[in-house]
Amino acid sequence: MSTILTRRFFDQIAVMFGREARKPVAIEPAAQKIHLYKRGNRDLIAEKLHARAHAVHTNKWRNRRWATLIVVNLMFTFSFWLDIQILEGALTASRFIGFHLIDLNSALQVMLAHKHIIVNLVIGTGTVFVLWLLLGGRSFCSWVCPYHLLAEFAEKIHLYLVKKKLVTDQNMDRRLRTWSWLVFAVLALLTGYTVFEAISPVGIVSRALIYGPGLALLWVLALLVFEVFFSRRAWCRYACPIGLTYGVVGIFSPLRIRYKLDGCFHEGDCRKVCLVPHVLDTVIKGRAVDTEIPIGPDCTRCGLCVDTCPTGSLSFDIKGLSNLL
């Protein structure tokens, strides 16, 4: 890996922890040629408009993701209701046909609260770590998390209200999520109680689907109302430590979104639909440091940018096995 790409790799990690994306200080020669061509190409705007006009928007990956998310969570529900013991428990801790599965962030909270390493938790987290290492860390957020689906619908309402100029979208400092992770870790260590699990909308919604609704859903409703009227996807973007935990796993994941510079017209549609648009800073005109760039580990692999891109410049990719998907 060249020095430029190595710097880009560590920049993506820093952005995940909350640093704002920056313009690159150096660009590979092959990418420089493409940037130079685009700066001098007067037909680029016409080509951009043509690509948009003839793009086929299928929602292919969104539909696959919704189907997967719904099926996974219904498996928990039906396993409990029908007592068929296929997928027992909830998203925080479960067992799939005998294999223990424990959410990485939940396991960390429990071990911090108990102040020692619990062997059963290590076994369960090991299985989950390998699973999401292969599938792409933050894929958990968009492909499994039930709150993500609720927030996605709330986001549609929010964007409609913004379009009608009834509300404005308030951005917050993304470093809040890193501080959130640290605060809940310290609280678990000091109090001996998993404070985050009591307010985690992921666990609350998961348990409500399986065991029935409770008063804790009022907290989830409050979060959704906040996201509708104040800040788009506020919990996922600025507060949820689970996303950061899986983002760290995503640093090493072979599955990612790949960006190809040469066909991109930099129209920005991908950034408009992205839950975490900071990971797509490389698609901004003049920002790509190479002709092909893997999107950073904070990407949720939701596929919305892939569905939206009019030129196919964004696609799913497995490291070392390009063009497999």
* pLDDT reading at 258 higher than 80: yes
* pLDDT reading at 323 higher than 60: no
Higher pLDDT, 87 or 234: 234
Q: What is the pTM of this model?
A: 0.90
- Name residue 247's beta-bridge partners: none
What is the Cα–Cα distance from 252 to 58, expressed in whole angstroms?
A: 30
CA atoms within 13 A on the CB side of 309: 23
What is the Cα–Cα distance from 268 to 273, expressed in whole angstroms?
A: 9
Across the chain, what does the average pLDDT equal?
90
Q: Which residues contact 49 (CB under 8 A, 6 or more apart)?
A: none
Average pLDDT for residues 24-31, to the nearest whole number? 92
What does the pLDDT read at residue 86? 81
Q: Give residue-wise pLDDT tens across range 152-178.
A: 999 999 999 999 999 999 999 999 999
Q: Could you tell me the pLDDT band of residue 85, with boundaries at 50, 70 and 90?
A: confident
What is the Cα–Cα distance from 174 to 110, expressed in whole angstroms?
A: 26
Domain extents for the chain?
3-58+255-318, 61-248
Type of residue numbered 37: Y
* pLDDT reading at 268 higher than 90: no
What does the pLDDT read at residue 164? 94
Residue 214: phi, psi to the nearest 5? -140, 180
Positions of E strands within the chain? 87-90, 93-96, 99-102, 255-260, 292-294, 314-318
- Name residue 255's beta-bridge partners: 318
Type of residue numbered 301: R
Average pLDDT for residues 6-22, to the nearest whole number? 92
* pLDDT reading at 292 higher than 60: yes
What is the Cα–Cα distance from 166 to 73, expressed in whole angstroms?
A: 34
Four-residue CA torsion sign, 293, 299, 303, 306: negative
Structure tokens at 213: 């609704």
* Cβ–Cβ < 8 Å for 263, 311: yes
The candidate with the shortest Cα–Cα distance to 281, out of 305, 302, 311, 303, is 305
HEC letters along 2-14? CHHHHHHHHHHHH
* Chain Cα centroid distance, residue 150: 15
What does the pLDDT read at residue 37? 83
What is the Cα–Cα distance from 21 to 299, expressed in whole angstroms?
A: 14
Residue 25: phi, psi to the nearest 5? -90, -20
Average pLDDT for residues 58-63, to the nearest whole number? 91
What is the Cα–Cα distance from 201 to 216, expressed in whole angstroms?
A: 9
